[in-house]
């Protein structure tokens, strides 16, 4: 590290070096780091286990009127797996290039945001600022594998109720352009497995009504649907990927050996549907695909989330008004979209807590889950400046109106 490096950047790099990577994230070291950071900034600290080795850490800054619903600043601790052979530097080295690019898994998704929250609060506290509402900086586990052991459990615990959350910020996505993307809703995520059963036999024969024939029909039907959704997206400039349904074949499995026609084959799809899609009708359509493919074709769900909730992004929502006012004061151009993937915000919104996704990362290629993920230190530091304006704007919202989603 350079002696001239900003201390916030040094903390960011220290956090990145903690390998909270699936399938075996090291949450204990991360929680120790977060606890020490809370103590350094002068924030209350609590930790709650949602499942064995899965821990929520919360830093709290009590407001002048703690009876009001609080502001939540959420980030997840875990990161997705890496393939080191495809990285220019070791993926948990947090190595900084001469131009300030910091390479590490989690640099964009989303350890940057957790540190930016805390550093903005550090600055506010150092200046003697007091804010109306209590702020909870929340660090959660298990987001990258669906939140089943993380936020889904946490929202049912008394510890989450005690936070009295009124509004929450969560993650967004980097943008190569000048705008900052803000997400007010997200698509439902369905992981669907089609089981195709058919006649088995010897690999040297023409076996009729085989599992492979049915699998082929399912693939053709699904890919035709996919192509139509892609055409719809490409033909309408007003649409973003969050406005259409995406479908991708991710797993094919089955068979025992080369000369045996298998009795069953499986095709697994990752399907993401926007909030306007009637999920009951869409499930009926998937079952129609099964019938069209032939007898003994069925489906099951490995994940079936329902994310119909949309946070109002107009003057009816005082939180949104405050957020946009802060962005305007920063001359930050905002582009609102439906989040294309899945985040822990869906559990918050389902509990009636409005949550928007926002990561202050522009002029940066989108590299979440990709090889050679990086964030430039200038963009990182600018993010602290942005939260320095946004956090007090939200925490000083005086209106107690309950947002309806």
C-alpha–C-alpha distance, residues 390 and 329, integer Å: 10
On the question of a cis peptide bond just before residue 110, with omega within 30 degrees of 0, the verdict is yes
**Is 171 an active-site residue?**
no
C-alpha–C-alpha distance, residues 337 and 35, integer Å: 34
Q: Which of 78, 109, 170, 171 is catalytic?
A: 78
Q: Which of 119, 143, 170, 186 is catalytic?
A: 143
**Is 302 an active-site residue?**
no
Residues 6+ apart with CB under 8 A from 95: 89, 102, 103, 104
C-alpha–C-alpha distance, residues 248 and 284, integer Å: 19
C-alpha–C-alpha distance, residues 335 and 373, integer Å: 23
**If DSSP codes are grouped into helix, strand and coil, which group holds residue 132?**
coil
Sort strands 54-61 and 70-76 into parallel, antiparallel or unpaired.
unpaired
- Structure token pair of residue 313: 């992004």
Q: Which residues are registered as beta bridge partners of 356?
A: 169
Q: Which residues are registered as beta bridge partners of 46?
A: 58
- Structure token pair of residue 397: 């919202």
Show which residues are catalytic. 78, 143
């Amino acid at each position: 590290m350079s002696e001239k490096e900003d201390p916030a950047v040094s903390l960011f790099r220290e956090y990145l070096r903690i390998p909270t990577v699936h399938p075996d994230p090291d949450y204990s070291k991360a929680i120790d780091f977060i606890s020490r950071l809370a103590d350094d900034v002068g924030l209350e600290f609590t930790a709650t286990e949602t499942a064995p080795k899965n821990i929520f850490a919360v830093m709290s800054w009590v407001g002048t009127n703690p009876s009001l619903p609080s502001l939540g600043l959420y980030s997840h601790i875990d990161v997705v797996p890496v393939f080191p052979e495809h990285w220019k530097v070791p993926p948990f080295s947090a190595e900084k290039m001469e131009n300030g690019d910091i390479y590490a898994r989690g640099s964009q998704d989303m350890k940057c945001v957790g540190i930016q929250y805390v550093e903005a609060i550090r600055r506010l506290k150092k200046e003697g600022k007091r804010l109306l509402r209590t702020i909870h900086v929340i660090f959660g586990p298990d987001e990258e594998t669906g939140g089943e052991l993380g936020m889904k459990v946490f929202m049912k615990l008394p510890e989450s109720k005690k936070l009295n959350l009124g509004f929450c910020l969560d993650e967004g996505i980097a943008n190569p352009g000048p705008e900052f993307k803000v997400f007010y809703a997200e698509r439902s995520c369905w992981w669907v497995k089609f089981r195709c059963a058919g006649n088995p036999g010897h690999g040297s024969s023409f076996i009729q009504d085989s599992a492979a024939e049915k699998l082929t029909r399912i693939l053709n039907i699904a890919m035709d649907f996919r192509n139509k959704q892609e055409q719809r997206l490409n033909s309408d400039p007003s649409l973003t990927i969050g406005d259409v349904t995406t479908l991708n074949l991710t797993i094919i499995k089955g068979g025992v050996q080369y000369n045996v026609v298998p009795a069953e084959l499986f095709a697994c799809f990752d399907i993401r549907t926007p909030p306007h899609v009637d999920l009951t009708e869409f499930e009926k359509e998937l079952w129609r695909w099964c019938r069209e493919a032939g007898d003994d074709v069925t489906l099951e769900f490995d994940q079936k989330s329902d994310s119909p909730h949309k946070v109002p992004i107009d003057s009816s929502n005082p939180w949104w008004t405050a957020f946009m006012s802060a962005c305007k004061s920063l001359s930050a151009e905002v582009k609102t979209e439906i989040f294309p993937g899945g985040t822990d915000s869906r559990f918050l919104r389902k509990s009636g807590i409005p949550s928007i996704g926002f990561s202050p990362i522009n002029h940066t290629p989108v590299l979440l889950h990709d090889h050679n993920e990086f964030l430039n230190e200038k963009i990182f530091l600018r993010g602290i400046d942005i939260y320095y304006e946004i956090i007090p704007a939200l925490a000083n919202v005086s209106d107690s109106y309950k947002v309806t989603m």
